[in-house]
Each structure stands twice: as structure tokens, then as C-alpha cells.
Chains A and B, each alone.
Chain A
Amino acid sequence: MSSRWSRLGLLLALGFLILAPLEFKRYGLYILSQWAVMTIAAMGLNLTLGYAGQVSLAQGAFVGIGAYCAAILTTNGWPLAAAIVLALALGFAIGWLLGYPALRVQHHYLAFVTLAFSTLAFLVFRNEAWLTNGTDGIDGVPRPSVFGLSLKPHLYYYYFCLFVLACVTLAMLGLVRSPWGRAFVALRENPMRALSLGVDTRRYTLMAFALGSALGALSGALYAPLVGLVEPPAFTLTLSLNLLMMVIVGGSGYFLGPFLGALIAVLLPEWLRFLESYYLILYSLLVMGLLIYSPTGLIGIVDRHIVRRRTRAASAARASLSASIEAP
């Protein structure tokens, strides 16, 4: 029954995402596009954090790398498609190079290493003016055309972002349902046992980190034409922490977690705008309250309910089976 409900929910959400924006004004479209773009980065971080269990504070830096990649290439006349492919490759390669030494340490040590990388990336964005135009940033990032149709209108660019998000979602679904997904669950839940069953935990963790970084860069490559201006302050530690919060609030390790987390992180500041600068206080109180009530995030609340029902059914099956085995 739960699968029928989730299918219905999925259809409703998809219908909303496609139809509702037709009525939206410019700002609403911008917010919704931002949600789609941030969801991609959060999905990447969810792979690193939620599936492979590695805390990374560098996801914002990878978004920056992708954004600069797209901004530099498209302002030099390259098509966005080429920039997207290059951003993915660059994110993967840099993620791999960073992860190779960094993943030898774990937990808060890894957080420190990625924090250092985040700072390093910011310094490069700000100081290497020959490449990034320094503090002025790169203005006038153009929006692409697809089959001769210009994506300049906000509505069209939103659909483009939504399309890329759909592709990423399908690819991610394939990934977590493949044997890789099973290996990720295993190395998160019990790395020692996974290792003793032949799972090369170091290799899988590295792949999760590199793929997660590539998605961060992809998100950046979509962000650049959305905003039009790419400048260093957008990709500081704040963005990394924001993405981390999206993953944790939504439900780290749950497939739908990043979608929900990004929605809240993008919408809540808008809804709480009337509080002006007090909104951060309320926001952090809400997050703390949520994490005390449900450390596994919003999806975790739903999941607990489903698991409780399943366990009850399983106990019944078990009781009847042990009765048949243990009967004399």
C-alpha cells in the first residue's frame, strides 16, 4: 500500500513542478529553479554523507568550481552543454584527487581536510584574477539555446533545470539500486563487516566522494546561467554548511531527503522574511528542534512509521516460522 501512496505522491509532485510555474511570476520561478539546482548539489552530498558516511564541508566549493567552469567557458563562446560535461569531469577529477589522500582520515578529521579545501577554493576564486576576474566576479553569464530555442525566459530555464534534475534523479536511482548502492549501505552501517565480505571500502568511499563532487559541480554549472553573475562570496563555507543542513534536515541517507531539505532551505528564508534578521534564530531553533525529535531528518519521521508497521508484520511471520521449526 505504501508504494501506491508514494507513487501517487510522486505524480502529484511532478504535476505541480511542471504545471504550477506557468502561473508563477519571475521571483517564484527563480526560487523554484534555485531549488532544482540546489537539490542536485544536495543529492551529491547525500551520496558522500548519507550513503558513504563521510562528512564533507567542501560541497559548496565544488558548486563554485562548476559555476566558474560554466561562466568562463560560456562567456568565451562555448555552449553550456560542453561546460556541463567539463564541470562534471572536473568535479569528479578534483573530488578523486582530494579524496584519495583525505579519505585516509575519517569523521571530524575529514571535515577539517574538506574545510581547508573549501577555504583554498575560495582563495583561488578571489585571488586568481586572470582566470576568475577576482572579486568582481564574472558577469553576464549567458543562458543557452536548445535546438534553436533560447532558454532566456525564466520559465524555459526553469524547465531546463528541472529536466537536468530529472536526469540526475534517474541516474542516482540506478546507482543506489545497483550493487554499488548495497555496498554503500554496507560500508555505512558496518564497515568492518563489509570489508570482511570483500567490499573494498576505501574504493567505494572514494567513488562516492568523487561522484558527489561531480554533482556539486554540475549544480554550479546550472547555477551560473540562472543567476548570471558568478562571484567568490557565493561559494564560501556558508554554502557548504547550507548544503550539509539540507541533507541532514531532509534526511541523510534517504533518497528523497535532499529534495525536501533543499525545498526547506530555499523556501523557509522566504516565508520567514517578515522576521528580518531574526529569521536565522528561528531557523536554527527549528532545525535543532527537528534534530532532537528526529535525528534522521524529516524523511526519517515517515520511515520510522513505516518500519514500525513492517516490524510488526515481520514479528508475526517470524513467530509462525519458529513455531514450525522448533516444534518437536
Chain B
Amino acid sequence: MAPVLEVANIKKRFGGINAVDGVSFEVREGEILGIIGPNGCGKSTLFNCILGQLQPSEGEVKLDGRVTTGLRPCDLNRLGVSRTFQLLQIFPKLSVRENLILAAQEHKGTMLSRLFGPRDAGLSAAADQMIDFFKLGALADEPASGLSYGQQKLLDAAMAFMAGPRLVLLDEPAGGVNLTMLANLKDRLKAFNLERGATFVVIEHNMDFVMSLCSRVIVLAEGRLLAEGLPAEVRANPSVIEAYLGH
């Protein structure tokens, strides 16, 4: 069976800088792949190249064996790839439920059916399920701006899951979240992975979070793949320790 995601020799240059310099890896169905590496090693640029937010200077991205380089982010999303961003990206004026409906409405019907069809695009029930799943029950009708940072982070993740994606790319989901919320988030991510078989790629700095969540980890340094393996192997790898701690 073809891997869900294949990244082949992706390069991205900004002027004279090689932000991503020939990275290749595969993501298999149902796994949670962690990507770690020091700041500026090209993790987020790599994400943006995979997701069509940036066009890679060289290389190819395949989804289920099909080349997707050159597709726009909205096309990729409708093929079942969703993401979260490093910084929170919710719609503060919309309610929690509306944020979630928005996250899936483009996956149903046509432009015309969305214009003349029901206001909630038939997604209220699914949104409420997601609200329960992420334990945001009492806040369903609140504007998202009224949520605490941790709750907004949960909503951000919930939005990425709303359309039932097969592949979710999470960019630093744990950043700035307190310990209680972090445990809650990890628990929800694991549950989603187990119950619905979604595949994850996670960029994260929080080592404990990565070690306890991911089944496999790759390490980037200066735009290149430095190491790959089980979390424990990677953690013990001398070159990884050096890249993180310096000489």
C-alpha cells in the first residue's frame, strides 16, 4: 500500500538561503510522525511546501501516490489534508460552533447548494459532536474571542479535524498551552488517531509531548534530515543532541 504522504527531495530557497534543502520522508497510514529540530531548521517551511502555501523550488509531494505539488491549499484540504498553524488561527467573531461548521462546509455540496441550502450546511450535529469530543460544551455559542488561550488552541485543533481528514499536519500544537490543557490535548489527539484512523504529522518543541505522542520522529537541522527513528532512539542520538545543544 502506498504511503499516505510521500515527500521527495523537497527544496525551498529564499534568495540565497536554502530553508529546506532536499528533505525526503514518508508517512504511513495511521501513524503519528513527529518532526523536531532547532528553531529555523525549516520545519514550518516544509509544512508550507507540503500544503501548497508555498511552492517548493524543487521536489515533489505525493498524497496517496498522486502528485499534489502545485495544488492550492483549498484543493489539498478538500482532498483530505488539514492543518493547524504555529500561531492560533481561529475566527474570533464567529461562535465556536460556527468556526467548526466553517471548517467543514466547503467539503459538502456545491457553491450553489451552499448558497440556497440550509444555514448550517447540515453540519450542526457534527459540530456539536466535535464540541463534546473536545469538551467545549458550555461554550458552543460563545464567540471564539471569549475563550481562554488553551480553549482556543483546542478549538483550532478541532477545526482541523472537523471535515474528517485522513492526514492532519499540526504545527506546534502544544506551544503556550498549560499542563492541564496539554494533557487534555494529547489525550484528544491520541483518541482521534485511534478512533478514526487519522494520520498525523506533528511539529513540536516540547520533547515530552513528542516522545509520548509520536510513533516515529524525524529530526531536521539546517534544512536537512539529520536523523529518523523511534522516539527513544532519536533522543539518544549524539548528533541530535549536538544539533539541539550546540558544540
A residues at B contact (CB < 8 Å): 175, 177-180, 182-183, 185-186, 189-190, 192-201, 203, 207, 307, 310-311, 314-315, 317-318, 320-322, 325-326
CB nearest neighbor in A for B80: A198
Asked whether A207 lies within 8 Å of B89 as measured between CB atoms, the reply is no
- Which chain B positions have C-beta within 8 A of A307? 143
Q: Which of A190, A196, A321, A322 contacts B83 (CB 8 A)?
A: A196
**Closest partner residue, chain A, to B156 (CB atom):** A193
Known: A198-B77, A325-B135. A182 touches B159 (CB 8 A): no
Are A197 and B143 in contact, with the CB atoms below 8 A? Answer: no
Check if A318 sits within 8 Å of B91, measured CB to CB: no
Q: Given A178-B119, A182-B98, A326-B180 in contact, is the A196-B146 Cβ separation under 8 Å? A: no
Roughly how many angstroms separate A192 CA and B74 CA in the complex, as a whole number?
A: 10
Give residues 134-160 of B contacting A (CB, 8 Å): 135, 138-139, 142-143, 145-148, 151, 159
Interface check B22, CB cutoff 8 A: no
How many angstroms from the CA of A207 to the CA of B209 in the assembled complex?
Answer: 44
A320 proximity list for chain B (CB < 8 A): 138
Is A189 within 8 A of B92, CB to CB?
yes
Contact B82 A196 (CB under 8 A): yes
Are B142's CB and A314's CB within 8 A? yes
CB-CB under 8 A from A310, the residues of chain B are: 143, 146
Q: How far is the CA of A186 from the CA of B93 in the complex (A)?
A: 10
Q: Which of A175, A196, A200, A317 is in CB contact (< 8 Å) with B139?
A: A317
**Option from B91, B98, B119, B147 in Cβ contact (under 8 Å) with A193:** B91
B51 interface hit (Cβ, 8 Å): yes
Closest CB-CB distance, B154 to chain A, in whole Å? 10
Which residues of A have CB within 8 Å of B72? Answer: 195, 200
Determine if B142 and A317 form an interchain contact, defined as CB atoms under 8 angstroms apart: yes
Instruction: Quote the shortest CB–CB distance from A63 to chain B (angstroms).
Output: 25
**18 A–B contact pairs at CB < 8 A?**
A178-B114, A178-B115, A179-B101, A179-B105, A179-B121, A182-B94, A189-B92, A193-B91, A195-B74, A196-B73, A197-B82, A200-B106, A311-B143, A317-B139, A317-B146, A318-B147, A318-B151, A321-B139
CA distance A314 to B93 in the complex (A): 13
B107 at the interface (CB under 8 A from A): yes
Chain B residues with Cβ below 8 Å from A193 are 85, 89-91
Q: Which residues of A sit under 8 angstroms from B74, Cβ to Cβ? A: 195-201
Report how far A195 CA is from B92 CA in the complex, Å: 17
Give A195 to B78 CA distance when docked, in angstroms: 10
Check if B14 is an interface residue, CB within 8 A of chain A: no
Task: Determine the chain B residues whose CB is within 8 A of the CB of A311 once the complex forms.
Answer: 143, 145-146
A181 → chain B, closest Cβ, in Å?
A: 9
Q: Which of A179, A195, A322 contacts B117 (CB 8 A)?
A: A179
| Contact residue among B106, B117, B143, B146 (Cβ-Cβ distance under 8 Å from A198) | B106
B124 contacts chain A at the CB level, 8 A cutoff = no
Partner of B106 from A197, A317, A325 at Cβ < 8 Å: A197
Say yes or no for B163: interface residue by CB 8 A criterion: yes
- For the complex, give the distance between the alpha carbons of A195 and B83 in Å: 11
Residue B102 is within 8 A (CB to CB) of chain A in the complex: yes
A189 touches B93 (CB 8 A): yes
Residue-wise interface mask of B (99-122) relative to A, using a CB-CB cutoff of 8 A (1 in contact, 0 not) = 001110111000100111101010
- State the CA gap A321–B89 with chains docked (Å): 22
Q: Which residues of chain B are within 8 angstroms of A178 by Cβ–Cβ distance?
A: 114-117, 119
- Chain B residues whose C-beta falls within 8 Å of the C-beta of A318 in the assembled complex: 139, 142, 146-148, 151
Complex Cα distance, B91 from A200, in Å, reads 17
**Cβ-defined contact, B142 with A185, below 8 A:** no
**Distance between B49 CB and nearest chain A CB, rounded to angstroms:** 14
- Contact of B184 with A by CB under 8 A: yes
- Complex CA gap A312/B84 in Å reads 28
Q: How far is the CA of A261 from the CA of B174 in the complex (A)?
A: 45
Name which residue of chain B comes closest to A324, CB basis.
B138
Complex contact B111–A207 (CB within 8 A)? yes
Distance in angstroms from B160 CB to nearest chain A CB is 8
Contacts A190-B89, A315-B146 given: A196-B53 contact, CB under 8 Å? Answer: yes
Q: How far is the CA of A196 from the CA of B159 in the complex (A)?
A: 10
Q: How far does the alpha carbon of A10 sit from the alpha carbon of B65 in the complex, in Å?
A: 57
A197, A320, A322, most chain B CB atoms within 10 A? A197
Give 17 A-B pairs besides A179-B115, A320-B138 with Cβ atoms closer than 8 angstroms.
Answer: A178-B116, A178-B119, A179-B121, A182-B105, A185-B91, A186-B91, A192-B53, A192-B85, A193-B90, A194-B102, A195-B53, A196-B51, A196-B74, A197-B82, A198-B107, A311-B146, A314-B142
